Amino acid sequence: MNPVLVEVTRGARAESTHRGAAVVVDAGGVVAFAAGNIEVPVYPRSAVKAILALPLVESGAADRLGLTDAEIALACASHGGEPVHVATAESMLRKAGRDATCLECGVHWPLNETAARVLAASGQTATALHNNCSGKHAGFICLACARGEDPAGYVRPEHPTMRVVTAALAEVTGTVLDDTNRAVDGCSIPTYAIPLKALARGFARFGTGQGLARTLADAARRIRAVVTANPFMVGGTGRFDTELMTALGARVFSKGGAEGVFCAALPQLGFGIAVKADDGAGRAAQVMTAALVERFLRPSGEACALLTRLAQPVLRNWNGIAVGELRPCGPLQRPGTR
Amino acid sequence: MNPVLVEVTRGARAESTHRGAAVVVDAGGVVAFAAGNIEVPVYPRSAVKAILALPLVESGAADRLGLTDAEIALACASHGGEPVHVATAESMLRKAGRDATCLECGVHWPLNETAARVLAASGQTATALHNNCSGKHAGFICLACARGEDPAGYVRPEHPTMRVVTAALAEVTGTVLDDTNRAVDGCSIPTYAIPLKALARGFARFGTGQGLARTLADAARRIRAVVTANPFMVGGTGRFDTELMTALGARVFSKGGAEGVFCAALPQLGFGIAVKADDGAGRAAQVMTAALVERFLRPSGEACALLTRLAQPVLRNWNGIAVGELRPCGPLQRPGTR
């Protein structure tokens, strides 16, 4: 039974509560913080996109195709479908000699509501380029083409490109990924249930290079650098990861996934973080992640203010009236709060 | 500790779980089904809109202003902001001699995504009429005007119109509503924490008239009838309450609220239903409500198929691939399922 880690208040009461598990661990597996069952396998979903992008860099494919830093960052993104995201995904596909018809992620309207309305107002409709995963998929297509493979069917677990991608995830997390723990993600690629602690340890390795082969560690360092330099690319306007990495720079790498999973790395401290809200609530996973980043990084100034806003956000109604808040509680309670 | 009542599967695993409480009770307070803590006070939010609309009908205000059945139904709605909803709210305000500038619900874009895109494509922007609560607020303004009161400030608990509305909620649920259990709702009206069982019993009374004064019972019967005849008005395209009441007609009255609350009445059986997902997830509350309606009504034919779809919906990804399902479990498990 996982503890309540986030409360949602309204007036004087907790209106809703979120249970979950959270772990902070170093690359050697030493646990610095744990709440709930950290051995339970969870589907990391989009939280591991940066790890799935490692082969694109490590193999030399990104350089052979001349991908820019922004393009490599987009390969790690759950983006808002804003114009720069769409243009960057298109550019990646062009460098692979392909176009949007090769994307196998499916179509949805931009997650960014303004972008969706502007698109509708211009008389256009959504395409696969607007899918929040289009950069990741463009990266898979780039990897396939640079390897001389036909990208068609790249979302299938048995496609040679996806085998390489899956091998990187297995290597970094130290887990066996096969059809016993495999399911299908929202964008149709495989997602594998991985113990929460192994995910966090994988991000400690990703953040430090410790325990990784030299070429993989180099690729991880480069991906962290390009994302740090292009935080808008991995999310977009108002998105959690973008806000966090814009404020904290190279001190944090964070990436959210669907159904309440978040992973992060604190490279300077050598830690990896993984959280899972039992109920799949993204709002809870964001609060959990922000609370742990705040606890271990102890930032000052503007970054401190941002982390307060992310870890304990005020809830406002349609008239802008403050009606309650989200707040970390139990083992995640912030010092000095009730 | 409330039990897990809904599982969200992906592949062979439960990816997320929802705990909660649920109760089915008759107007006399006899419990026919209970799971979890049914005495815990919950903010019913929009789930009690039909009860808040009782004074509009009982006082004769609706008839004095010449409101149509569709307009009375809209006063009970959390609507999608589709054109017919907007036009109906405008018509209500016109009959009160007012316009949209009197609405104090705040502005948001239509919940119905197609309506939002059509609005954006036409170069317009959202107004308070598109707020899902605009019909309820138009009803409050109609009530105020018919009572000869200035509607300004009608969202405040001390406004004479809101006092009448709150008194109806207290009467039907048999509870004391004051500043000790009050908070502010998304549309700025008061919302009061009420024990889940009292909410369900209130809906048993609303559905049968038992235990209510004659005029209140008559108003409840009329509201049920107009909603049954106009199920599109209380929700809209693809919305749970609309689908359920379209399929089942007068056999069910259901209304969802924010943060995972649903209330329903089964008038022929004399039961009221109230559910609350601990984590506030609407997807869980819908499954819980559908599972209880199915269990007690045991519908056949098309209604049976609809309830299967609502109680155990298949989850599909952006390519339409079935990746998992939501399913009621534990004390809510459907007969014949694992």
Percent share of chain B, pLDDT over 90: 99
- Cβ neighbours of B8 in A, within 8 Å: 259, 280
Calpha distance B246→B106 (Å, rounded): 29
- For residues B112-117, average pLDDT: 96
For B120, the closest chain A residue by CA position comes to: A121
Residue B158, SS3 per DSSP = coil
- Site from A1, A288, A319 to mutate, B interface, most B CB atoms within 10 angstroms: A319
How confident is residue B316, by pLDDT bands cut at 50, 70 and 90? very high
Global pTM reads 0.97
B 123-162: CB under 8 A from A: 123, 131
Q: Given B18, B278, B319, which is nearest A106 (Cβ)?
A: B319
The amino acid at residue A228 is: T
In this structure, chain B runs to a length of 338
The pLDDT of residue B338 is above 80: no
Residue A124, SS3 per DSSP = coil
Calpha distance A246→A16 (Å, rounded): 30
Taking the Cβ of residue A280 and every Cβ of chain B, the question of whether any pair is shorter than 8 Å is answered with: yes
pLDDT of residue A195: 98
Question: Rounded to an integer, what is the distance from CA B52 to the centroid of its chain?
Answer: 11
Smallest CA-to-CA distance from B296 within B318, B269, B275 is with B269
- Report the 10 Å Cβ neighbour count for A119: 24
- A183/B13 touch (CB, cutoff 8 Å), yes or no: yes
Contact between B82 and B236 (Cβ < 8 Å): yes
Across chain A, what does the average pLDDT equal? 97
Contact between A62 and A72 (Cβ < 8 Å): yes
pLDDT of residue B336: 81
pLDDT of residue A335: 86
- For residues A198-221, average pLDDT: 98
Q: Given A117, A187, A319, which is nearest B106 (Cβ)?
A: A319
Across chain B, what does the average pLDDT equal? 97
Contact between B35 and B21 (Cβ < 8 Å): yes
Two structure tokens written together for B21? 């409480």
Chain segment A150-180, per-residue pLDDT in tens = 999 999 999 999 999 999 999 999 999 999 9
- Cβ neighbours of A107 in B, within 8 Å: 318
What stretch of H or E contains A291? helix A282-297
Smallest CA-to-CA distance from A143 within A92, A85, A88 is with A92
- Report the 10 Å Cβ neighbour count for B283: 19
In this structure, chain A runs to a length of 338
- ipTM entry: 0.97
How confident is residue B293, by pLDDT bands cut at 50, 70 and 90? very high
In this structure, the strands spanning A271-277 and A261-266 are antiparallel
Chain segment B176-200, per-residue pLDDT in tens = 999 999 999 999 999 999 999 999 9
- B11/A183 touch (CB, cutoff 8 Å), yes or no: yes
The pLDDT of residue A14 is above 70: yes
The residues near A81 (Cβ < 8 Å, ≥ 6 apart) are A109, A110, A111, A112, A115, A116, A126, A129, A130, A131, A132, A134, A236
The upper half-sphere exposure of residue A240, i.e. CA atoms within 13 Å in the direction of its Cβ, equals: 29
**H helices of chain B, where?**
49-52, 54-58, 61-64, 69-74, 83-95, 113-121, 134-146, 160-173, 196-208, 214-229, 240-248, 282-297, 301-311
Calpha distance A102→A54 (Å, rounded): 21
Torsion angle, alpha carbons of A90, A92, A95, A98, to 10: -60
Q: Given A104, A116, A279, which is nearest B17 (Cβ)?
A: A279
The residues near A224 (Cβ < 8 Å, ≥ 6 apart) are A50, A206, A207, A250, A253, A265, A267
A3-38 burial string, b = 16+ CB within 10 Å, else e?
Answer: ebbbbbbbbebebbbbbbbbbbbbbeeeebbbbbbb
Smallest CA-to-CA distance from B225 within B240, B206, B210 is with B206
- For residues A74-83, average pLDDT: 98
Taking the Cβ of residue B12 and every Cβ of chain A, the question of whether any pair is shorter than 8 Å is answered with: yes
Chain segment B240-273, per-residue pLDDT in tens = 999 999 999 999 999 999 999 999 999 999 999 9
- Cβ neighbours of A19 in B, within 8 Å: 19, 278-279
Calpha distance B290→A54 (Å, rounded): 45
How confident is residue A337, by pLDDT bands cut at 50, 70 and 90? confident
- Cβ neighbours of B185 in A, within 8 Å: 317, 323
Residue B211, SS3 per DSSP = coil
How confident is residue A338, by pLDDT bands cut at 50, 70 and 90? low
- For residues A230-248, average pLDDT: 98
The pLDDT of residue A37 is above 80: yes
Smallest CA-to-CA distance from B49 within B76, B74, B67, B27 is with B76
